[in-house]
Amino acid sequence: MDTTVLWQTSDAELVDAHTAVVQRRRQIYAEELRLVAEMESRGVATKLGYSNTAALLMHTARLSRTEARHQLAQAADLHATTTPTGSVIDPALPQTAEALARGEVDSEHVDAIRKTLADLPHLDAEQRATAEHVMLTRAAEDDPKALLRFGARVRDIVDPDGPPPPEEEPTRPERMLRRHTRRDGSMEFKGHLDLESAQLFENLLKPFEKPHPEGNDTRGYAERAGDAFADVLRMAANCPDVPAHNGVRTEVAVTISFEQLQQSLDDVLLSSDPRMTAREARRLACDAHILPAVLDGDSKPLDVAVPAYAAPAHIRRGLYLRDKGCAFPGCERPGSVCDAHHVAHWAQGGPTTMDNMALLCPQHHRLVHNSDWAVKMIDERPWFIPPTYVDASRTPRRNHIHTPIPSAA
Ligand SMILES: [Zn+2]
Ligand SMILES: [Zn+2]
């Protein structure tokens, strides 16, 4: 049908044309998720210097963080995933992946099926496949809400006996912490604290998680609490009573030769930590929040005077006044959480002065050091030049949130 002459089509043709387009959109969405799964599986984001695939998609496709994470979660259920050790895990919902690829179900149907199956963790593989099949058959006639309601009854169809009774209620330990380090080095955890420790934790966190008084703090509660937790950890690490780890104090996180630090090395792994690259060490050294042990040619610690590269208070104040917060385009994080980044690294002779420095939050500081984003000072302000896969013309961008360009009028 020629959609440029819509007025000529009959009502029935119009409805049919719409249905056909919806089916195509779903098929294209299936293709989108397949590509997302492949990017995640290959670790493309990490190779390009991003902390994870969601952060990359926010730049390349301009997805919201919520949408990027949602697509990643769907992709993980519909497609095979590769673990950090290289073993391949079969997809949890292969039939749903096929139905989406045929354009028979929509993204919201996929979510209804994911939710239903996630609520039935005790099913065995055969029962899961049956439940998925039953849901997909039903999805042919139901909208996603109705499908989800039907999902609540799927258990009775697939497993009428219900889950086996728990053998014995395990007693929960008073305090516990389960942590899981992800491939990119970030961490997820879950835990339980007894009453006294919980109160101590609350009291420690409270002063740090208040919104910043400047009034432009748009962080949600969970993000503020996360930042507060990181601040408390940093505080604990700086406490002189913290026990040494393997005989080395934790603030010396990495040893690197001065030569390695001077060069822009991509993937040189440092022996002290398998996840630490020379690039990462350069980022840590950039504002000397964590002091790397810099070694000379004979592997003896090199005496680099700290004031040579840690931004002194008057420069930091000047940067707060000029940049007001993280200088990266689109970032809203306030100056109080930022590092002072050397545009030309101090190890390569870059001076510790206002016109060679920019405030960057930890996330964007890492991105600037690890990816192909470049920083350039234009009219005494930091501008950011995107990599070609974000903007083929590499047009410089700046932060308009903290320092809007005054209108010409
Ligand atoms: Zn830096
Ligand atoms: Zn930032």
Ligand index nearest the alpha carbon of residue 370: 1
Among the listed ranges 18-32, 46-60, 394-408, which one has the minimum average pLDDT value? 394-408
Average pLDDT estimate for 168-189: 73
Q: Residue 64 Cα, ligand 1 centroid: separation in angstroms? A: 26
Q: Residue 337 Cα, ligand 2 centroid: separation in angstroms? A: 9
Average pLDDT estimate for 122-134: 91
pLDDT at 134: 94
Average pLDDT estimate for 85-89: 82
Percent of the chain with pLDDT over 90: 40
Q: Residue 182 Cα, ligand 1 centroid: separation in angstroms? A: 24
Q: Residue 331 Cα, ligand 2 centroid: separation in angstroms? A: 5
pLDDT at 251: 41
Residue type, 150: F
* Calpha distance 212→320 (Å, rounded): 14
Average pLDDT estimate for 72-97: 90
CA distances for 356 relative to 224, 328, 336, 400, 403, angstroms: 30, 15, 19, 20, 18
- Burial, 86: exposed, middle or buried (Cβ in 10 Å; 0-12, 13-18, 19+)? exposed
Q: Residue 174 Cα, ligand 1 centroid: separation in angstroms? A: 42
Condensed to tens digits (0 to 9), the pLDDT of residues 279-335 reads 666 676 676 544 445 555 555 555 444 444 567 778 888 898 899 999 999 998 888
pLDDT at 294: 56
Q: Taking a C-beta distance cutoff of 8 angstroms, is the pair 359, 401 a contact?
A: no
Q: Between these two residues, 31 and 361, which has the higher pLDDT value?
A: 31
pLDDT at 295: 53
Q: Residue 196 Cα, ligand 1 centroid: separation in angstroms? A: 40
Could you tell me the pLDDT band of residue 1, with boundaries at 50, 70 and 90?
A: low
Tell me the residues surrounding ligand 1 (ion) with CB < 5 Å. 286, 341
Ligand index nearest the alpha carbon of residue 311: 1
- Calculate the dihedral angle through the C-alpha atoms of 194, 200, 201, 202, rounding to the nearest 10 degrees: 110
Can you count the helices (H) and strands (E) in the chain? 14, 12
List of long-range contacts for 50-55, beta carbons under 8 Å, 24+ apart: 50/367, 50/370, 50/371, 51/184, 51/186, 51/363, 51/366, 51/367, 52/184, 52/186, 55/363, 55/367
Could you tell me the pLDDT band of residue 237, with boundaries at 50, 70 and 90?
A: low
Bridging pattern class, strands 88-89 and 81-82: antiparallel
In sequence order, the β-bridge partners of residue 400 are none
Q: Between these two residues, 136 and 152, which has the higher pLDDT value?
A: 136
Average pLDDT estimate for 352-366: 90
Average pLDDT estimate for 54-83: 94
Residue 404 has φ and ψ, to the nearest 5°, of -65, 150
Q: Residue 216 Cα, ligand 2 centroid: separation in angstroms? A: 14
* Calpha distance 379→406 (Å, rounded): 14
pLDDT at 139: 94
Q: Residue 365 Cα, ligand 2 centroid: separation in angstroms? A: 7
Q: Between these two residues, 62 and 347, which has the higher pLDDT value?
A: 62
Could you tell me the pLDDT band of residue 368, with boundaries at 50, 70 and 90?
A: very high
- Calculate the dihedral angle through the C-alpha atoms of 211, 212, 217, 219, rounding to the nearest 10 degrees: -40
Whether residue 373 is predicted with pLDDT greater than 90 in this model: the reply is yes
Q: Residue 360 Cα, ligand 2 centroid: separation in angstroms? A: 5
* Calpha distance 234→243 (Å, rounded): 14
Bridging pattern class, strands 381-385 and 374-378: antiparallel
* Calpha distance 40→75 (Å, rounded): 9
pLDDT at 179: 82
Q: Between these two residues, 108 and 170, which has the higher pLDDT value?
A: 108
Q: Between these two residues, 361 and 337, which has the higher pLDDT value?
A: 361
* Calpha distance 283→301 (Å, rounded): 19
Q: Between these two residues, 273 and 167, which has the higher pLDDT value?
A: 167
CA distances for 3 relative to 12, 19, 291, 359, angstroms: 14, 13, 64, 51
pLDDT at 304: 45
Whether residue 115 is predicted with pLDDT greater than 90 in this model: the reply is yes
Q: Residue 164 Cα, ligand 1 centroid: separation in angstroms? A: 55
Arithmetic mean of pLDDT over the chain: 80
